[in-house]
Structure 1
Amino acid sequence: MNAEIELKLFFHLEQQQVLIELLDSLPDSEQKACRKLSNAYFDTPDLQLRRWDMGLRVRGCNGKREQTIKTAGTVIGGIHSRPEYNIDIDINEPKLNLFPKNIWPNTANIAAVQSRLACLFDTDFERRTWHIYVDESLVEVALDIGKVSVSREGEIKSEPICELEFELMAGKTGALIDLGLKVAETIPVRLGKASKAQRGYRLAAQSSPLSLEVLEFIALEPGQDLKQTLISLLSTGLERWQQLEAMILETDAYSLKQEPMLCYRLRACVRLLRCTLGQFNLLSESLVAKFDAIEGHLGFVETGLSLAEILSQNCQLIARQPQKAKLAEQALSSLQQLSISSLMQKMLADTGYGSLQLSLVDLLFAIRAGESRVNFNINAKTDLKTFADQLQESSWQKILALMPSEADLSSREYKSFARALDDSIFVGVAYGELYTKQSRDMFRAPWQDLVLGIRTLAAYRQLAQIGESLDIDISDWLQSKEESLVFAMEHSRRSALSNQPYWR
């Protein structure tokens, strides 16, 4: 049995030669043989192995075959660790009884599973490998170019494979991240969360579509220390970032109108990570610059959300407008012209994107290892609940300063406060699980309503621009709608400000 510890990066095929030259040029780098690998993945029709969190394949290379089963493992910040068992065979079908008996669940009927095995999908790729020493650690780097494919009823569906894997052969996990950062500084990459097997299952329509409905509260335990809290916040934030990134890139699965909200949620994950590092005094100038660059790429989010809001729920926002059809048509055209997919690809083509992801992984593992370079400058004796209370109170005081109850706020002022409201909500997302659900949710509800109100005000401004471009005068109607909404938001805000904070 081997336990793989690996880091996976995705990149674009046109960067292949640059990548090869970079890996060849690294100190203590030795290029190994280039091999063609064919892999057939097996499971039962009801996906019994997948339900056991196992992956089964038969790999062919140079006339030899090997069956491999991978059992349940972990993924932390993009670093994969998973036990695997490899056995040489002389046929194309796997034999489960060749694997150790102790890997199976106690109640498993292996003979029954064996009788129902079938090939679900294939991965075929060319693998070029290097052995690279990083200080005292040895890393095998594998460059895989090929495809994952599914054959069903005579039709073949496929997706390209373009991956770089760093597997730790000996030494420290940090060596994987060091090499990954060197690559990320040279070519655009992104953390690879999905394995080839996971991609194959999805392509075969044998797994649920990716989903992440909301920024759910992060699971924290009141008794855990601040170090473990920071590890939980960073690892969860990175996982959600990768999940949303994958959802956005699966363009066939999501409609044009859903893209803005997915991008909004991705930006929220990035902002949550930034907010967390700020709370623990870990935002270096380098990290700030990288976060700012991502924010710059996501500058389209507000426009996209406004256009999507106009088009949502059968254009309910403009349902009573005589010119509804023309306004909706122009909103749809503007959303198409925004070309969110292209803007996302531009962001992924920025080397700062993958570099930020890997810098966060590097920081995460440095915290786990207790490295001296990570200094929170926080009293180690502070318990989590006290720390969370202080953060909630600080965030609350900022909101009170921006939005005093005696002041009347305008539509423009609400727009300018949107980021501050976001940051305050992120504090609640990070630490909300430490508090009683009823009091927490009652307190947060009106503030979340204000966020939705700000989004609708932005949609009204977008409608004003659309009306002008079409020479349709809806200014009086928009002014009336905006005034009514601001009046309602003012009532909600004053009510919210009078509520007793749940952390006190």
Structure 2
Amino acid sequence: MDTEIELKFLVSPEVGSRLPTLLQSYQILKQDQQHLANTYFDTVDLALRRMDAGLRIRSQNGEMEQTVKLAGSQVGGLHQRPEYNVPLTVHSPDLLLFPARIWPEGMDLERLQHSLQPLFSTNFLRRRWVLAIDGTEIELALDEGEVQAGEWREPIHELELELVKGDASQLFDLAETLIKEGGLRLGAVSKAQRGYRLAGLSPRPRLRMLEPLALQPEDACEPTMVALLHKGLRHWQQHEEGWLAEPDLEWLVQLREGVSLVHQTLLLFGELVSHRVNSGWIDDLLWLQQQLSWLDRAQMLAHLTADKGHYLRRLDCQKTLLSTLTTEQAQLPGEDQLRALFYSPRYGRLMLRLTHWLYRQDWRAGLAAEQTARLAAPVASLARQRLDDSWHTLCHSALGKPELNGEQYIQQKGKLRRNLMVGLCFSELYPETERMAFRMPWLDILRGIEDLDMLSPLRDLRDELDGQDSAELDEWLERKQRFLLEALEQSRAQALLLEPYWR
């Protein structure tokens, strides 16, 4: 058995042409290229897929080998999976050739064997380099070809860095050198996963709201922190993949939610962990949030221009407003700019360094005994403290004042979002009925503030209208804002009287 430790990247086609030059400064132990034809097998009811196992037969140079990869772990683009390889003489899998111990107890292996059928294939040219770096050997493989399932095809442009032997940190160092050139994006989805999706046997990325993490009061702080970071990173990457497959604003909004969860988790547990080794990725995380700061404006414009400006239907100047709003909408970052962001060196560096930090558990570096003990303590105590701190901050902000105007409400949007994210992180520690009774009014207030902010692009256009249209818009905006403020004030007055559920 071998355990793969590899980084997977999706790459731009031009990466292949510049890669040989980039590798000239390394000691190359071996270099070759070969055509690889792979057929993947499973049962009709996807018995292997349900075990998180993958079975393939690989043909190369007239020789065949069957491989089974079992459930492992995946963080960012780092994949670790146990695999077993057995040579074959015929192009038909034989599960009985694998060690019996690798299968779940009680599995009817013969029945599984007879139910296997080919599902999809991957065919690609692999250009391979084996590098020696300070006693560590790394195999670098550039794969270019396609995944095929029936009539459906998808191109393959991937780069895999696999640790052959030695220090895994060298794997990350090499990856960072390559990322500096751009055109690389850490891939969370394997070729097999893509094949299952292409064959219609596995769901494509689906837009999902960020949900609470399953927690128990006795769970320790450290595994809770790690689980929250993994959850945020998965949500982030799933919606990145979703946007790349089907560009739509809502994918980006949920991607931002994943990024926010990662950031909020670092703030919640920051006093307990070491920041001595972060290699600047936290600065990159803040940079990414800034890169996505236009999404609120994009959501406003999308709502105002939907259905040919239906929201503005009662205004005589509807067509003028719609034309101007549509022009502004067209000036927002487009698909090409966003793809460039996801393949940019800084974005790649952020994902790689965050993955490395999680893999090496760098938060433990140089921890004092007191910090180590606090990491091992039950998370329930920390949750109460952080919820109290967040609630205190909220109550002493403008949201705790007797009365707010529209601009003051809008200024509190970010603060309320952060407060609700803190609550989401620890939600499952508390009874749902009490928790939701407290959170729902504040969620309604956030939606009300977002509705209020939806009027901002229209206010910005008043000076571009003639006198009559400007007066009509002012009256309409005043009426809308008055209605929203009345509802917000009522909701806030009730919400501030609620007893916190965590006390």
* 1:437 corresponds to: 432
Structure 1 residue 357: Cα displacement: 1.1
- Aligned partner of 1:23: which letter? L
> Partners of 1:16 and 1:418 in 2: how far apart?
45
- What corresponds to 1:221 in structure 2? 216
Contact 1:190–1:354 under 8 Å retained in 2: yes
Closer/same/farther in 2, CA of residues 109 and 344 from structure 1, 3 Å limit:
same
Query: Secondary structure of 1:407's match?
Result: coil
* 1:337 Cα deviation from its structure 2 partner: 5.4
- 1:265 partnered with 2:258: no
Task: Tell me the CA shift for residue 184 of structure 1.
Answer: 2.5
Residue 367 of structure 1 contacts residue 374 of structure 1 at CA under 8 Å; is this kept in 2?
no
Distance change >3 Å, CA 133–CA 483, structure 1 → 2: farther
Q: Structure 2 matches for 1:367-406, cutoff 5 A?
A: 367=361, 371-373=364-366, 378=371, 380-381=373-374, 383-406=378-401
Query: Unmatched 5+ residue regions in structure 2?
Result: none
Query: What aligned pairs does 1:171-320 form with structure 2 within 5 A after superposition?
Result: 171-251=166-246, 259-279=248-268, 280-281=270-271, 286-310=280-304, 317-318=311-312
Q: Residue 365 in 1 paired to residue 393 in 2?
A: no
CA deviation after TM superposition for structure 1 residue 403, in Å: 2.2
Deviates more, 1:398-407 or 1:299-308: 398-407
User: Partner letter of residue 50 of structure 1?
Assistant: R
Opposite residue 191 of structure 1, the aligned amino acid is: L
| Structure 1 residue 106: Cα displacement | 4.7
Structure 2 residue matching 1:144: 3-state secondary structure: strand
Equivalent residue letter for 1:273: V
SS of corresponding position for 1:338? coil
Instruction: Check 1:372–1:210 CA distance in 2 against 1; reply closer, same or farther (3 A cut).
Output: same
**1:393, 1:20 → 2: CA distance?**
56
Query: Post-superposition shift, 1:269?
Result: 1.4
CA 1:415 to 1:272, structure 2 compared with 1: closer, same or farther past 3 Å? same
Counterparts of 1:439 and 1:182 in 2: how far apart (Å)?
51
CA gap of 1:384–1:313, structure 2 versus 1, over 3 A, is farther
Does the residue aligned with 1:9 lie in a helix, a strand or coil? strand
Q: Distance in 1 between matches of 2:424 and 2:371?
A: 21
Change (3 A) 1:313 1:24: same
After TM superposition, the score normalised by the length of structure 2 is: 0.87
- CA distance in 1 between partners of 2:485 and 2:475 (Å): 15
For the aligned residue pairs, the C-alpha RMSD in angstroms reads: 3.0
1:416 aligns with 2:411: yes
Deviations 1:178-205 (A, max 9, x none): 3323322332432211000101111222
Q: Is the 8 A contact 1:186 1:351 kept in 2?
A: yes
Q: Which residue of 1 aligns with 2:492?
A: 493
2:7 maps to what in 1? 7
Q: What is the distance in 2 between the residues matched to 1:188 and 1:425? A: 36
Shift of 1:77: 4.0
Aligned to 1:63: 62
Q: What amino acid maps onto 1:197 in structure 2?
A: A
1:354 maps to 2:348: yes
Between 183-192 and 478-487, the greater mean CA deviation after superposition: 183-192
Tell me which amino acid in the other structure corresponds to 1:345: R
**Displacement, 1:444?**
1.3
CA distance change for structure 1 residues 111 and 389 in 2, over 3 Å: closer, same or farther? same
Indicate the larger mover: 200-209 or 180-189. Answer: 180-189
Letter in 1 for 2:146: K
2-structure distance, mates of 1:30, 1:54: 32
1:13-48 alpha-carbon deviations (Å, 9 max, x no partner): 22233333223323x443421222111222233333
Deviations along 1:325-374, one digit per CA (max 9) or x if unpaired, are 88678766754553542332131132111111111112212327x75256
| Whole-Å separation in 1 of the counterparts to 2:339 and 2:313 | 34
Match of 2:22 in 1: 22
- Per-residue displacement from partner, 1:375-394 (whole Å, max 9, x unpaired)? 79847345422212221122
Q: Is the 8 A contact 2:399 2:412 kept in 1?
A: no
Cross-structure match for 1:72: 71
What code does the residue aligned with 1:245 have? Answer: E
Aligned-partner Cα distance in 2 for 1:29–1:459: 58
Decide whether the 8 Å contact of 1:305 with 1:455 is kept in 2.
Answer: no
Q: Provide the residue aligned with 1:131 in structure 2.
A: 130
Q: Which moved more, 1:112-121 or 1:423-432?
A: 112-121
Match of 1:343 in 2: 337
- Checking the alignment, whether the CA contact within 8 Å between 1:8 and 1:191 is kept in structure 2 is yes
Distance 1:311 1:111, change over 3 A: farther
Give, in whole Å, the separation in 1 of the partners of 2:400 and 2:287: 35
CA 1:343–1:221 in structure 2 vs 1: closer, same or farther (change >3 Å)?
farther
State the TM-score, normalized to the length of structure 1.
0.87
Q: Which is worse superposed, 76-85 or 461-470?
A: 461-470
| Shift in CA distance, 383/422, structure 1 to aligned 2, threshold 3 Å | same
Partner SS for 2:161: strand
Q: In structure 2, do the counterparts of structure 1 residues 410 and 288 end up closer, same or farther at CA, with 3 Å as the change threshold? A: farther
Query: For residues 285 and 162 of structure 1, do their structure 2 counterparts lie closer, same or farther at Cα, with a shift above 3 Å needed?
Result: closer
Mean CA deviation greater in 479-488 or 213-222: 213-222
Deviation of 1:246 after TM superposition, in Å, equals 0.6
Secondary structure of 2:396 counterpart? helix
Gaps of 5+ in 1: none
Q: In structure 2, how many angstroms separate the alpha carbons of the residues matched to 1:490 and 1:126? A: 64
1:61 offset after TM fit, Å?
1.0
Shift of 1:469: 6.9
Aligned partner letter, 2:118: C
- The percent of aligned pairs where both chains have the same amino acid is 34
Total equivalences in the alignment: 492
Report if the CA contact (8 A) 1:220-1:232 is conserved.
no
Q: Which residue of 2 aligns with 1:83?
A: 82
Contact 2:145 2:157 (8 Å CA) reproduced? yes
